[in-house]
Amino acid sequence: MKDEDLFSLLCSRCTELDFSNCDLLGGVSQHGWESIRRLCPDLCRLSLEKWKDRSTLTLIASGHTNLTHLNLSRVVGSLTSSHVVKCVTSGLSNLRDLNLSHNENIDDTCMTIIGEYCQTLTAINLNCCYRITDVGLEHLLEHCGPFEMLCIKRCALLTGAPLIKHKDKFHRVQHINAKGCVDIDQDCWTQLLGTSLINANSWRLGECTTSLAAVVAAHEMIHGDLSTSPDLSLVALDLSWHDELNEDVVCQVLNLSPMITCLKFRACETIGSTMVMMAARSCSKLRKVNVARCNSISNASIVALANHCRELRDLNVSWSLVADEAVLKVLNNCTFLTHLSIQGCKMITANGIATSMTEHVSLQWLDASWANDISEKVARQMVTDRMNILSIPIEILDYYGESMKCSDV
């Protein structure tokens, strides 16, 4: 694509441009990129996710005075703070949503400049920006907000200090992703989440020291008994790797969350069949469920899930008590299922599930590693049968975790 090709696609009424992962723009000149500001004066959304040419990035992203949403995530070679500084100091004063995720060179200097120049910011994604510390986050929170979204996944240098100091900036927060931020303590999350449970849309707090019971208690001090509240807005809840979750409190939340589509409770030893039964009764829109290594998950609870949650796409019941009956119910009832993990499920047999598995039109991936009956030979045969019956490929991990695909048989 050259300048004239780009210009033919643009007009003065253009408000959104998505160049994510685009490989066809190498012929556009610096003048071409700079001309976007003149050709699209009302541009408000711009995505340059996985952008491959850092030398042109600031030319494209700078100077759009009406821009409200900017996605600079996963820039190839990693975005640097100097790139971001050039963009935000060029007049992006109306920016509300900024995505810098998975750029490992972003640092505290960048956070300071964003705070000073983008004070209308209410949503920021800093997932896997490993260099950010409390100093940078403090500068950001001091000037921006109130926040509706904060994503700091794997920002392991952060503590709860700046979040507590600016907790007034989070009373409207809907999306939190702090997975892996192990130094942000339970008290911090209680104060932040307790005031915003009624607004919450997604909480991804795997590995964080969060007490859902304390969060609910903090909510009830302000709003009264949760059981009398209207339905919650939660769509995604991830509390994986929590070893002291109160299953009754989890059930209380799920009972008021009919819109939930994603549940992750991986390796939560206190979570069992009671929670899965409640999810089956209350959360019929579920699409992704991960209860791997919740050792007391029973066969009957997964049968109930399959009977009531027929939109499931992704199910992980690894290292549970699940047997053939439950897997067959899932395969027969959940016609949209694409991913299934039965890793370590010792009660599942090849004879019991092979036919339904090979005849399932949507299934793309089956993890049967450490499932005693799914040997390499059995996995190869399943892959072959699937192609013979449906002409649709599938990937299966056999007992030893080796991948079996059509190209291997």
What pairing do the DSSP bridges indicate for beta strands 403-404 and 395-397?
antiparallel
Structural domain includes residue 64: no
Q: Which candidate, 21, 94, 29, places its Cα nearest to that of 64? A: 94
Structural domain includes residue 1: no
Decide: helix, strand or coil at residue 64.
coil
Asked whether residue 408 carries a pLDDT value surpassing 70, the answer given is no
Give residue 24's pLDDT: 61
Q: Using DSSP, how many helices (H) and how many strands (E) does the chain show?
A: 16, 16
Give residue 319's pLDDT: 95
Work out the pLDDT band at 391, boundaries 50, 70, 90.
very high
Give residue 45's pLDDT: 97
Give the DSSP H/E element, type plus range, for residue 308.
Answer: helix 299-308
329-349 burial: b if 16+ Cβ within 10 Å, else e: bbbebbeebebbbbbbbebbb
Q: Give the distance from CA 328 to its chain's centroid.
A: 28
Number of domains in the chain: 1
DSSP letters for 137-158: HHHHHHHS---SEEE-TT-TT-
Mean pLDDT of the chain: 93
- Beta-strand ranges (E) seen in 296-404 are 314-316, 339-341, 365-367, 395-397, 403-404
Q: Give the distance from CA 171 to its chain's centroid.
A: 22
Structural domain includes residue 206: no
DSSP assignment letter at 369? T
Q: Which candidate, 158, 230, 173, 247, places its Cα nearest to that of 203? A: 173
Read off the pLDDT of residues 249-292 as tens digits, 9 standing for 90 and up.
999 999 999 999 999 999 999 999 999 999 999 999 999 999 99
Number of CB atoms found within 10 A of residue 132's CB: 21
The domain of 328 spans: 251-409
Residue corresponding to tokens 């008590």: 321
Distances (CA, A) of 158 to 108, 162, 163, 348: 11, 9, 10, 43
Distances (CA, A) of 297 to 91, 227, 275, 341, 351: 54, 26, 9, 14, 23
Read off the pLDDT of residues 173-211 as tens digits, 9 standing for 90 and up.
999 999 999 999 999 999 999 988 989 999 999 999 999
For range 58-84, the mean pLDDT: 92
When mean pLDDT is compared across 57-61, 134-138, 325-329, 399-403, the lowest value belongs to: 57-61
Measured in degrees and rounded to the nearest 5, phi and psi for residue 286 equal -55, 135
DSSP letters for 234-293: --EEE-TT-SS--HHHHHHHHHT-TT--EEE-TT-TT--HHHHHHHHHH-TT--EEE-TT
Structural domain includes residue 380: yes
Give residue 9's pLDDT: 82
Structural domain includes residue 279: yes
Tell me how far apart the alpha carbons of residues 295 and 316 are, in angstroms, rounded to a whole number. 12
Structural domain includes residue 113: no
Give residue 409's pLDDT: 59
CATH code assigned at 297: 3.80.10.10
Structural domain includes residue 291: yes
Tell me how far apart the alpha carbons of residues 329 and 291 are, in angstroms, rounded to a whole number. 17
Give residue 5's pLDDT: 78
When mean pLDDT is compared across 125-139, 235-249, 364-378, 395-409, the lowest value belongs to: 395-409
Q: Which candidate, 262, 260, 244, places its Cα nearest to that of 208? A: 244
Q: What is the pTM of this model?
A: 0.92
Work out the pLDDT band at 65, boundaries 50, 70, 90.
very high
Give residue 339's pLDDT: 98
Structural domain includes residue 139: no
